[in-house]
């Protein structure tokens, strides 16, 4: 029994980059660039792929990561998995 959905509420696979998702989150990640060691863990665990290497170095000479809040859902996985606690989740006031 193969019925088609009558109301198409869900996005098609692979279209995440077409839709900003950050307007409804409650918390947002804030990165402390001086603590970041550039390990790439945040990038690996982020379901939306919003963490990225900036190519810039902090005062310790380490390339640090940042995030694109336009697509961030505020799930907190990056903060939870950061081995040096360089990412904190803070309330996102609109």
Per-residue pLDDT of the chain (94 residues; tens, 9 = 90+): 445 545 555 556 556 667 777 667 899 999 999 999 999 999 999 988 889 899 999 999 999 999 888 888 899 999 999 999 999 999 987 6
Q: Which H or E run contains 45? A: helix 41-45
Q: What is the pTM of this model?
A: 0.76
Domains of the chain in sequence order: 29-91 (3.30.70.20)
Is residue 68 within 8 Å of 25, Cβ to Cβ? no
**Rounded-to-integer distance, Cα 2 and Cα 33, Å:** 51
Residue 50 contacts residue 19 (beta carbons within 8 Å) = no
Q: How many residues does the chain have?
A: 94
């Amino acid at each position: 029994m193969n019925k088609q959905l009558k109301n198409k509420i869900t996005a098609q696979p692979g279209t995440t980059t077409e839709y900003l998702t950050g307007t409804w989150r409650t918390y947002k990640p804030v990165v402390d660039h001086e603590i970041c060691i550039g390990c790439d863990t945040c990038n690996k665990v982020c379901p939306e792929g919003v963490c990225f290497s900036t190519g810039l170095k902090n005062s310790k000479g380490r390339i640090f990561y940042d995030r694109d809040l336009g697509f961030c859902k505020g799930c907190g996985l990056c903060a939870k998995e950061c081995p040096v606690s360089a990412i904190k989740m803070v309330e996102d006031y609109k």
